Chains A and B, each alone.
Chain A
Amino acid sequence: AQSVTQPDIHITVSEGASLELRCNYSYGATPYLFWYVQSPGQGLQLLLKYFSGDTLVQGIKGFEAEFKRSQSSFNLRKPSVHWSDAAEYFCAYTGGSNYKLTFGKGTLLTVNP
């Protein structure tokens, strides 16, 4: 069964610092990978997605993610965090003809002033 692991439950960074959120997925021949952000009580907003091609993908709000097949990872990065980035971040995966999205348990990001 496909699975997604987000090893960090909670991360705290200072405003202006760099950020990296980790995501690992179970093996799949054709991984389709996503990062979503969720503010309290809200739905999910897509930050970026990877289907194929260039392994470094750019998203909205200055986020980027790098797909590393050898490590089964799809880590999310941002060079300088803003206070408004405080939220919960979810990595998600779907593979092949499997239509459902499988989500990780999320990483809660706190930003200190």
Chain B
Amino acid sequence: DAGVTQSPTHLIKTRGQQVTLRCSPKSGHDTVSWYQQALGQGPQFIFQYYEEEERQRGNFPDRFSGHQFPNYSSELNVNALLLGDSALYLCASSEQGIYGYTFGSGTRLTVV
């Protein structure tokens, strides 16, 4: 049974560009959350998607947007990249109403 799958694993982008990160949740999970983990820090909540709607959002600018598809997979989009967006982006999936989160291995984004 595959866990949470994220792609790509690494990527390098230039300031001002746009990036899309992808996440496939664990089988049976219908809720996807995204977190940003800067070097040496704990993960910070970006937003959560359920039933293709953004249900909750953390303290991130509108440059960060997302989408959830009918098969529960999700994308995180970041526009107008800044050097400070360099981080490990983690996707976590869970089952509605169940407080149990499974994390993927993350996408390491480097902005140069």
B-contacting residues of A (Cβ < 8 Å)?
A: 4, 32, 34, 36, 41-46, 49, 51, 90, 92, 94, 98-106
B100 within 8 A of A: yes
Contact (Cβ within 8 A) B103 A49: no
Hey, which chain A residues are within 8 Å of B90, CB to CB?
Answer: 43-44
Q: How far, in Å, is B22 (CB) from chain A's closest CB? A: 15
Q: Which residues of chain A are near B4, meaning CB under 8 Å?
A: 43
Q: Is A100 within 8 A of B108, CB to CB?
A: no
Known: A90-B43, A105-B41, A106-B42. A99 touches B103 (CB 8 A): no
Closest-CB distance, A94 to chain B (whole angstroms): 7
How many angstroms between the C-alpha atoms of A36 and B56 in the bound complex?
22
Contact A94 B105, beta carbon cutoff 8 Å: no
Query: A43–B37 Cα gap in the complex (Å)?
Result: 10
How far apart are B58's CB and chain A's nearest CB, in angstroms? Answer: 6
Q: Which of A4, A32, A45, A90 contacts B99 (CB 8 A)?
A: A32
Give CA–CA (A4, B45) in the complex, Å. Answer: 13
Interchain Cβ contacts under 8 Å between A and B, 17 examples: A34-B101, A36-B103, A41-B108, A42-B105, A43-B104, A43-B105, A43-B106, A45-B103, A46-B101, A46-B102, A99-B56, A101-B35, A101-B45, A101-B92, A103-B43, A103-B44, A106-B41
Cβ–Cβ contact B48 & A44, under 8 A: no
- A100 CA / B56 CA spacing, docked (Å): 8
The residue on B at minimum CB distance from A41 is B108
Residues of A within 8 A of B33 (CB): 99-101
List A contacts of B35 (CB < 8 A). 101
CA distance A74 to B101 in the complex (A): 18
CA distance A90 to B40 in the complex (A): 11
